[in-house]
Chains A and B, each alone.
Chain A
Amino acid sequence: MTGVIKHNASNTPLKKVCPKCGKDVLLYTHYRAMSVGCVHCNNISFFDANQNLHSPTKTKLNSKLKVLFNIGDVFTIENIKYRLINYIIKRETKYSTSWIEYTLFHPTEGTLVLNESDGHFNLLKPIDYFQENKKTSFLYSVDSIPTKFSLYSKYKYKVVEAQGEFLYGVLNNYNPSCEDYVSPPYVLSCEQSASEVIWFLGEYCSHAEVQSWLSKTVALPSTEGVAPNQPYATKYNYDSFIKLTGLAVVFLILFQLLYSGFYTAHRAVSQNRFDQSDSLATRALVSPNFDIKQSGAADFIINSFLDNNWIEANFTLINETTGEQYYFGQALEHYSGYEDGYAWSEGSNTETVTVPEISAGTYHYNIEITNDSVKRFQVLHVEVIEGVSLMSNFWITLLLILVVPVITWLLKSNFDRRRWYNSDYSPYDEE
């Protein structure tokens, strides 16, 4: 850390002369830099024991990737100003995919790496972590929360292009073995060479986030595909979304339980039997008076003993005091038989009609019957239950509450499949 004390590298860069082109190169890390890529002539030089640059090596600027930021740009991340000191373009040896790594430096906070691949950004920082026998999945605590990381890829890379100052010999052929473990929005990345193992913890960054770190507007590339650690939702908190939905469902169930258990009376207030045994002409029926004590909905349970017969009962429920009237109807039909060795039946002898918004009071109802002109229905039972708990409202509300999460879950599942599409360790390949 002597460099921090002797050289405040945050604002005043050290000027050195490029041994190849003779132009000034600015070193924000001062003498902590081990190698320097000249932005004027693209030669990379190394510091000798006397802190002079020597042995310039020409590098090619042959990558098709667009470098988005300039050496020396300032990134303000969590109110700390980091200086961009270099960029490296790396290419995976197996699949030839390329990405850019920008190193951000602060003299006391250390370095961060901003990684850009297919328009997706990750901000990585080195961490104190070591795992001797690597597993395909393991727990690592992020912000004190144990998080399960899963192996996404193993690869090696080559440096294709590099500029700026480096705290190591960038052209040394380390040829490290790399492994990436993901748990969106996080990634744990391990680089292991013959002499060292370095772990980085990265977090996915939206374009808006990256842009907010800069003092000038930069045209960031549009994203392609799904990044390995890209969270499904960046504009909202998916975990909160699930918790909110869960809270709503719990409230709904609790309310319905309390409502059914303690609020609604669910009490039979009228039971009547009507016969048509005397005359087919008996088609207008009138009930005795009964009291409904609890305002709300009431069930009219209609029951008959139909044998290959049907009836339609049209009700008029009348409040004796106010004259309010409620109109509703219900058909009953029941047919059965024996055909091709099988007994069959259809229809039902019992139906329930829920009549909403009945105010408390004394009522009677009239029934007008329509039925077969030659076949009697014999008997019709009508039972009135007051204070019913309206389960249909509960199911409709539950359905409406769950529609959005179910659609979101389907979209997220598809998103996760796309995330693992480029991995050799996809859990979906086992299916």
Chain B
Amino acid sequence: MKEGFFKGLKIYTVFLITMLAVFCYYQLNGKLFYNTSDTEHEGNNHSSKKSHGRRYGRSYFHK
């Protein structure tokens, strides 16, 4: 690339690299930028949690 290719474009280059890096990270980890389904995730503390206005309890549904 000829001299001056990045003239005035350093911030834009950083922006593009950041965008692509974040995109790759999200894809490889199965994360969503925008979750339309309003999915919620919790660990195994079995705490009650509201979802869509309803209370879920593991004891009720667990087999």
Q: Contact residues of A with B, CB < 8 Å?
A: 233, 235-237, 240-241, 243-245, 248, 251-252, 255-256, 259, 263, 284, 286, 295-297, 312, 314, 316, 318-319, 322-330, 353-358, 364, 366, 368, 389-390, 392-394, 396-397, 400-401, 404
Known: A286-B61, A392-B34. A327 touches B39 (CB 8 A): yes
Residue of B nearest to A405 (CB): B12
> Mind listing 14 A-B residue pairs with CB under 8 Å?
A237-B4, A252-B20, A297-B32, A314-B54, A316-B56, A328-B51, A329-B51, A330-B37, A354-B32, A356-B32, A357-B29, A358-B30, A368-B61, A394-B23
The number of A-B residue pairs with CB atoms under 8 Å apart is 154
Known: A237-B4, A328-B37, A328-B38. A357 touches B30 (CB 8 A): yes
Q: Contact residues of B with A, CB < 8 Å?
A: 4-9, 12-13, 15-16, 19-20, 23-24, 26-44, 46, 49, 51-52, 54, 56, 58, 60-63
Known: A296-B29, A326-B40, A358-B30. A236 touches B7 (CB 8 A): yes
Contacts of A390 in B (CB 8 A): 26-27, 30, 32
Q: How far is it, in angstroms, between the C-alpha of A358 and the C-alpha of B19 when the chains are bound?
A: 23
Q: How far is it, in angstroms, between the C-alpha of A314 and the C-alpha of B40 when the chains are bound?
A: 12
- Would B24 and A255 count as touching, CB distance under 8 A? yes
- Shortest Cβ distance from residue B34 to the other chain A in the assembled complex, whole angstroms: 6
Contacts of A295 in B (CB 8 A): 29-30
Contacts of B19 in A (CB 8 A): 248, 397, 400-401
In the complex, besides A353-B39, A366-B56, A404-B12, 7 extra interface pairs with C-beta distance below 8 angstroms are: A243-B5, A286-B63, A296-B29, A324-B44, A327-B41, A330-B37, A393-B32
Known: A240-B6, A241-B12, A323-B44. A329 touches B52 (CB 8 A): yes
- Would B27 and A255 count as touching, CB distance under 8 A? yes
- Would A326 and B44 count as touching, CB distance under 8 A? no
Contacts of A329 in B (CB 8 A): 37-38, 51-52
Residue of A nearest to B62 (CB): A318
Contacts of A397 in B (CB 8 A): 19-20, 23, 33
- Would B38 and A245 count as touching, CB distance under 8 A? no
Contacts of B16 in A (CB 8 A): 244-245, 248, 401
Q: How far is it, in angstroms, between the C-alpha of A331 and the C-alpha of B10 when the chains are bound?
A: 46
- Would A368 and B54 count as touching, CB distance under 8 A? yes
- Shortest Cβ distance from residue A101 to the other chain B in the assembled complex, whole angstroms: 28
Q: How far is it, in angstroms, between the C-alpha of A219 and the C-alpha of B49 when the chains are bound?
A: 68
- Would A297 and B41 count as touching, CB distance under 8 A? no
Which among A328, A389, A393, A404 is the interface contact of B39 at CB below 8 angstroms?
A328
Contacts of A389 in B (CB 8 A): 27
Contacts of B33 in A (CB 8 A): 392-393, 396-397
